[in-house]
Structure 1
């Protein structure tokens, strides 16, 4: 029996809520209707602001991110960032030489770092440099460059050149968006460029991102997910995203 439009819309929204996204081809096969019909269904639902269409699929919200100042971002999903930071600290070992990028998740991580023998930290974040400078057992290097006021961090070619002079055991990276097909992104193109150089200089790439960052895109692309070694996130991550990350060989830590 062919479903009517109301029933199709109900099932589309139910599947979207359960899986985090719906695929046009899969819906066409499931409902035994044409691709054109499904695209019309999704367009109608988008007009009602019940989903957002994107490249042959639909997701619950607009994936494109606008930039917010760090003081505002710190208040968003604060408890999740707290748990992520605690898990990230457990990855540190004596004599680690690490990069901490910029963003509120990695700032929370820096706040939880305790004295550790031989720990060296290079950071793009002015706030993180100030936080860690109070721990005498930690050697802190501030990356040079042009200050980006919205994130209180540095960007630009000076910092990129500085990174070529060092090798680090780990990079702790905060991002604005994680898209399973497009990869890691940030809202600032110059920050994305700096993050690429951080990746080149590091042996292990660890992304700290709460679950709201998945299925989102920022303006600047950092890298593909295949370049990421580990993602630390919270339990809000949906099952399909979790499965896809594991298939890509990403170590997933859920807190």
Structure 2
């Protein structure tokens, strides 16, 4: 049940009974036991993960069910190998990546998977998975984003090594590289990149060719770019950015 809950966030009595092949009475008893252990919160007709019983910021709620983010997450999960240590900053795209990582059974087999993050919502969901070691960096939290930054987070990060840093961005161009809107957030992400063997930037095509305020890293530092197919008015400009990324050695994955 916890495995299902970590993937879906919510479970109903009837659907859980059908998926697990048990009676609804059994499901209700198990829901009650999970609630007693404070692993879930009871709601009418089912339960939600204790980690999401609070009200998520609007940007997370509005992105739930976004198929493009789910595709990005699934592709990143293919790039990660069992036993690796994966760092993730906060954001809707990296949240989708975290859910895909913790839902992929191959990654949860021994020796398991380690997730290092400054996003409280990612940590709260990942900790429900039995074979995921979850490290929350701590620091000063922003209520609008559930992300932590500052000296405490930086000091914790300096004690760790990452195999892969998965980075969500505000903007991405070949000239300016990966960017975001806040300098303290950019500083923490730069720290993740410095401690990582590979850098995977995740973003939708809408952010290609745009620039945020604070610099994260140059384009040449990016190992993989996982993005959606450019469409609409800005498609031509986004395609040029993808071609330029490939030219500087970035492995581009369009989902």
TM-score w.r.t. the length of structure 1 is 0.70
- Gaps of at least 5 residues in structure 1 are 1-68
| Structure 1 pair 159–147 and aligned structure 2 pair: CA distance change class (3 A) | same
| Structure 1 pair 73–176 and aligned structure 2 pair: CA distance change class (3 A) | farther
Aligned-pair CA distance for 1:70 = 4.9
2:223·2:251 contact (CA, 8 Å) conserved in 1? Answer: yes
Residue 103 of structure 1 pairs with residue 91 of structure 2: yes
Please identify the structure whose Cα radius of gyration is greater: 1
1:186·1:222 contact (CA, 8 Å) conserved in 2? Answer: yes
Question: How far, CA to CA, are the matches of 1:91 and 1:74 in structure 2?
Answer: 27
Runs of 4+ in 1 over 3 A off after TM superposition: 73-77
- Gaps of at least 5 residues in structure 2 are 1-55
SS in 2 for 1:169: strand
Question: How far, CA to CA, are the matches of 1:150 and 1:186 in structure 2?
Answer: 15
Q: Which among 47, 58, 71 is matched to residue 58 of structure 2?
A: 71
1:70·1:104 contact (CA, 8 Å) conserved in 2? Answer: no
* CA displacement 1:115-167 (0-9 Å, x = unmatched): 51321111110010011111011010111100022211101111111111111
2:170·2:207 contact (CA, 8 Å) conserved in 1? Answer: yes
> How many residue pairs get matched?
187
RMSD: 1.7
Aligned-pair CA distance for 1:71 = 2.2
Structure 2 match to 1:58: none
TM-score w.r.t. the length of structure 2 is 0.70
Correspondence list, 1:79-158, <5 A: 79-112=67-100, 113-114=102-103, 115=105, 116=108, 117=110, 118-158=112-152
Question: How far, CA to CA, are the matches of 2:214 and 2:168 in structure 1?
Answer: 13
